């Protein structure tokens, strides 16, 4: 078993090395996000200040607009006595609170990053705070790729810091290179969102999913690993479908090593009803398939595939029942949170902690000891960061009844199958 784990670790390291090489060849879009306690308006103001003050380099610099080429910007940086001049091409604004640009030249020569280089900085709401993200693609060697990623991680962290305004003021005023003659500072002006062909794909998610599937192959026989991966992906697709039905775009899903899978909404939920619906759609979309596979297995419709049917029944019922337990932040726990925020908002942490403990007791009762420990630690981390207030609209009583019926139907479907086959 030790040799298998070492081999899996070596494979993961090799895949990371390959991903970094591909990133340096401009083959992948790298996305780095950091959460900020500041509201979106403040974070957007800091992002604009960083762009106007130092071109998002976070170095003593001066950004000016060229007078002879519309839309072109010139950035002069000063570091350790060395002065460099960059020419930047500003892209159309991809979203309301975002800035996207490419570096076209350095010191009069074409940019070493290649023509496909770009940086897309954006701010979006994240609960009571905001999330700052930079997406980039470039062409560099391995060492410079690692350096660039670390630099971007640091720069996003500066914007997400509680002292971002002080840090930006220091960068923008200390040792700034003077503007050249015949130029004028780039004026701040509101921009309207406009369509863009900014490239985007699922390279990162696919790579992480492959690593996760490789891990499953080290833990199960290949048939079990395939079925479990399909069940997880279908479960997460249920969440993704719910996000689309509620009008969200830019949603993502992937397998996650040692964890299972995750679906991420491209925008925050507007109401507790919407949040509960999206949480239950994961187990909900699996319920018809669980019942269908059980019927095919029970009536022996295709004897040659009975082993596959049984594997699907087992993994789907267990995985989805686990997620339906009222353990925060599993799907059942998020549904319980929406009920509590709607009808008992003053004592949400106490009640949600009690429900999570009850769910863990159920796992221990069925002798899922390792799973109980893992889920318990996961729940503890989630409860520690649970916000005391929610900006989302509470559920009405009719909406709560709909969610309760939906929840009961999903539990009955998966629970009935699990009870029969266990």
Digit-coded pLDDT (tens) for 173-209: 444 444 444 444 444 344 333 333 333 445 666 777 7
Which residue intervals of the chain bear CATH 3.30.530.20? Answer: 2-185
Largest CA distance in the chain: 84
Most confident of 61-75, 79-93, 259-273, 339-353: 339-353
> Does the reported pTM lie above 0.85?
no
How far is residue 294's CA from residue 235's CA, in Å, rounded to a whole number? 17
Of the two residues 14 and 342, the one the predictor is more confident about is 342
Average pLDDT, the chain: 77
Mean pLDDT of 373-391: 86
How far is residue 303's CA from residue 305's CA, in Å, rounded to a whole number? 5
Phi and psi for 347 in degrees, rounded to 5?
-125, 40
318 prior amide bond cis, ω within 30: no
Contacting residues for 61 by C-beta, under 8 A, at least 6 apart: 53, 54, 55, 75, 76, 77, 78, 176, 177
Is pLDDT at 418 greater than 70 in this prediction?
A: yes
pLDDT reported for residue 192: 39
CATH number assigned to the domain with residue range 2-185, chosen from the 4 options 3.20.20.20, 3.40.309.10, 3.30.530.20, 3.40.640.10: 3.30.530.20
pLDDT reported for residue 82: 62
pLDDT reported for residue 197: 37
HEC secondary structure over 200-227 = CCCHHHHHHHHHHHHHHHHHCCHHHHHH
133 strand-pairing partners? 33, 122
The SS3 of residue 194 is coil
pLDDT reported for residue 153: 75
pLDDT reported for residue 122: 86
DSSP for 6-38, written as a single string = HHHHHHHHHHHHHHHHHHHBT-S-EEEEEEESS
Q: How far is CA 336 from CA 298, 341, 355, 390, in A?
A: 34, 9, 8, 14
Q: Which tokens in the block code for residue 372? A: 């109980």
Query: Among candidates 59, 24, 10, 26, which has minimal Cα distance to 143?
Result: 24
Digit-coded pLDDT (tens) for 199-240: 344 566 677 777 777 877 787 788 888 999 999 999 999 999
At residue 372's C-alpha, the angle toward residues 366 and 373, to 5°, is 145
pLDDT reported for residue 44: 84
């Amino acid at each position: 078993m030790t040799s298998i784990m070492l081999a899996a670790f070596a494979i993961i390291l090799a895949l990371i090395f390959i991903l970094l090489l591909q990133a340096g060849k401009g083959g992948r879009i790298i996305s780095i996000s950091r959460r900020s306690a500041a509201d979106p308006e403040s974070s957007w103001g800091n992002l604009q200040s960083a762009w106007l003050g130092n071109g998002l380099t976070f170095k003593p610099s001066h950004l000016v607009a060229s007078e002879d080429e519309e839309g072109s910007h010139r950035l002069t940086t000063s570091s350790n006595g060395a002065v460099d001049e960059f020419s930047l091409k500003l892209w159309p604004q991809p979203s309301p609170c975002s800035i996207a640009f490419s570096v076209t030249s350095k010191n009069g020569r074409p940019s070493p990053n290649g023509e496909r280089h770009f940086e897309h900085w954006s701010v979006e709401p994240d609960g009571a705070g905001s999330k700052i993200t930079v997406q980039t693609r470039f062409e560099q060697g391995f060492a410079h790729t690692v350096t660039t990623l670390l630099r971007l991680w640091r720069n996003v962290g500066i914007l997400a810091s509680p002292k971002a305004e002080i840090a930006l003021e220091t960068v923008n005023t200390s040792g700034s290179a003077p503007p050249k003659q015949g130029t004028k500072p780039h004026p701040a002006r509101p921009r309207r969102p406009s369509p863009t062909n900014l490239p985007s794909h699922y390279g990162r998610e696919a790579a992480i999913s492959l690593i996760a599937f490789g891990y499953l192959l080290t833990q199960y026989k290949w048939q079990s690993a395939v079925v479990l991966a399909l069940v997880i992906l279908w479960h997460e697709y249920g969440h993704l479908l719910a996000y689309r039905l509620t009008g969200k775009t830019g949603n993502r899903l992937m397998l996650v090593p040692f964890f299972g899978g995750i679906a991420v909404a491209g925008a925050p939920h507007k109401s507790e009803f919407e949040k509960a619906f999206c949480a239950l759609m994961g187990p909900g979309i699996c319920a018809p398939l669980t019942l269908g596979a059980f019927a095919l297995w029970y009536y022996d419709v295709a004897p040659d595939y009975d082993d596959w049917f049984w594997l699907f029944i087992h993994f789907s019922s267990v995985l989805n029942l686990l997620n339906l337990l009222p353990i925060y932040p599993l799907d059942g726990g998020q549904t319980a949170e929406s009920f509590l925020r709607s009808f008992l908002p003053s004592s949400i942490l106490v009640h949600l902690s009690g429900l999570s403990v009850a769910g863990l007791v159920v796992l221990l009762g069925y002798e899922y000891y390792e799973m109980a420990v893992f889920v318990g630690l996961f729940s503890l981390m989630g409860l520690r960061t649970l916000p005391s207030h929610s900006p989302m609209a509470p559920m009405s009583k009719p909406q709560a009844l709909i969610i309760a019926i939906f929840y009961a139907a999903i539990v009955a479907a998966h629970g009935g199958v699990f009870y029969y086959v266990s």
